[in-house]
Structure 1
C-alpha cells in the first residue's frame, strides 16, 4: 500500500535518482550539482540542449566503467512507519425511497476525500468509486443470512447483492490535500476511507427519510424488503 510500500519505493527511487545524477554528470563532463532532473532525463543547468536520458544513463550504468561508482542502477530501501497515516473524507447522500416497493434511488452522492499527496489522480478516482460502491453494497443489500438450521441462504450471486452499473449512482467527487507529516512524499491511503465513511452515509440517508415518521433505527442492510417492512410498520401504506 502507499503508506508503507509506497514510502519504501519513494526512498529507493531517490537513491536511484541520486546515483543517476552522478552518472549523468560524468557522461556530460560536468559537476554533479550542475545537472538537474527533468521528467526522463538529466539536463545541464542553463544549457537544456545538453542532457542524458534515463535510458542512456541506465545503459552506461551497466555497460561502462565509471570511476568511483559501482555498476548497476538499483537500490534497496526499508521503511518502518513511525506513525499512522490518517486519510479522511466527507460524504453526502440524497436518496429517494418508494415506500410501496422499498426501492431506493440515489439522486446525488457527493464525496470529498483527502489522501495526502495525490500520486495518480485517475487511480485515486477509481479507488474512491470502488470504496463507495462496496459501501453501497454493504449498506443496501449485502448480508450473509442463515436459516433456522444454520444453512447459508445467500451463498450465490443470485442471492448476495453485487452492485452493477444499474444500481451505482454517478458519484460527484472532490478532494483536499493534507500531506502526511512523516511519509516521505506526504501520501496516505485512499481505498478504505470512502468505504468506511460511505456505509453510514448511505444508511443515514435511509434513516433520515423515515425520521419524520418517528422511526429511529432500522437494521442494515437496507434492502427493498426491510425498507418495505419499515414503511409498513410506520403505517405509510395506509
Structure 2
C-alpha cells in the first residue's frame, strides 16, 4: 500500500500521508521498533547453480639481447571470454591487472635463498613487483560466450590472464633461445639466467 514518487513515499490514495527518504533513513537509526537493530541495509548472496568457466587466449612476442640477456616484450595480445560484459571499463582494468600479475612470475618476482635457506630478498627493494614501467602495451580483446548459469550471462574475469600470461611469456622467451639449444628455463626468467644459459650453450657449441 506504499507508493513512491521522486523524493518521498506515501500511502496509496493519500499522497498527503508521506515521508521523505531522509525521514525514513533517520527513523531507521533513531526510531526503530523494539527488538530490532538500527540500520537501513540488506545483504543478498547469489549462489549460482553451476560453475562458470572464463577462458582466454594469449600470444606473446619477445626479443632477447644475446650480449646481455635482456628481454623485451615487443607485443602481447590477450583475448578473454568472460561472457556478457556488464562494465567494459572494469573488465579492461581487471584484464590489464591480471596480465601485469602474470608478467611478474614470468620475468621478475622470485624469492631467492642462500645455501642455508635464508631469504635474500626480504623487502620490496630487492623483489621487483612490476609497474607500468616494466609492463608492455597490452593489446586486449574479447569473445562473448554467455554463461547459461548466470541470469546476466556473465562469468568471472582477471583470473584467466594471471594463468595464461606466464606460460605465454616464458614460451616466447624459450622460442627465441631455441636456436641456441636452450629448451627450458625456470621462471622467473631474468636477464642473468638468460645470459648464463647462453654462455653454457655457446661453450657446448
TM-score range relative to shorter protein: 0.7 to 0.9
Structure 2 counterpart of 1:85: 52
Q: 1:145 to 1:66 in 2, by over 3 A?
A: farther
Determine the structure 1 residue equivalent to 2:135.
168
Equivalent residue for 1:40?
none
- CA separation of 1:149 and 1:112: change in aligned 2, threshold 3 A: same
The normalised TM-score by structure 1 is 0.69
Q: Select 2:10's aligned residue among 48, 64, 68.
A: 64
Q: Would you say 1:127 and 2:94 are equivalent positions?
A: yes
Equivalent residue, structure 2, for 1:214: 181
Name the SS of the counterpart of 1:234 in structure 2. helix
- Between the aligned partners of 2:185 and 2:168, the Cα distance in structure 1 is 14
The offset of 1:77, in angstroms, is 3.7
When normalised by structure 2's length, the TM-score is: 0.80
Give the drift of 1:76: 5.3
Distance 1:149 1:75, change over 3 A: closer
227-236 or 173-182, larger mean C-alpha shift? 227-236
Structure 1 residue 149 corresponds to structure 2 residue 116:
yes
Corresponding position of 2:199? 232
Q: SS at the partner of 1:235? A: helix
Whether the 8 Å contact between 2:180 and 2:198 is mirrored in structure 1 is no
Equivalences, count: 180
Task: Render the CA deviation track for 1:155-196: whole Å, top value 9, x for unaligned.
Answer: 112211111222111111111111111111111111111110
Give the helix-richer structure, 1 or 2.
1
Q: Aligned in 2, Cα 1:64/1:200: closer, same or farther, shift over 3 Å?
A: same
Aligned to 1:199: 166
- Identify which range, 131-140 or 157-166, moves more after superposition: 157-166
Match of 1:101 in 2: 68
Partner of 2:29: none
Structure 2 residues without counterparts, runs of 5 or longer: 14-18, 25-39
CA distance in 2, matches of 1:159, 1:66: 68
What's the secondary structure of 1:64's corresponding residue? strand
- Matched residue, 2:34: none
Q: In the TM superposition, what whole-angstrom CA distance separates every residue of 1:70-112 from its partner, at most 9, and x where no partner exists?
A: x989765442222111111111111000121111111111110
CA distance in 1, matches of 2:117, 2:43: 51
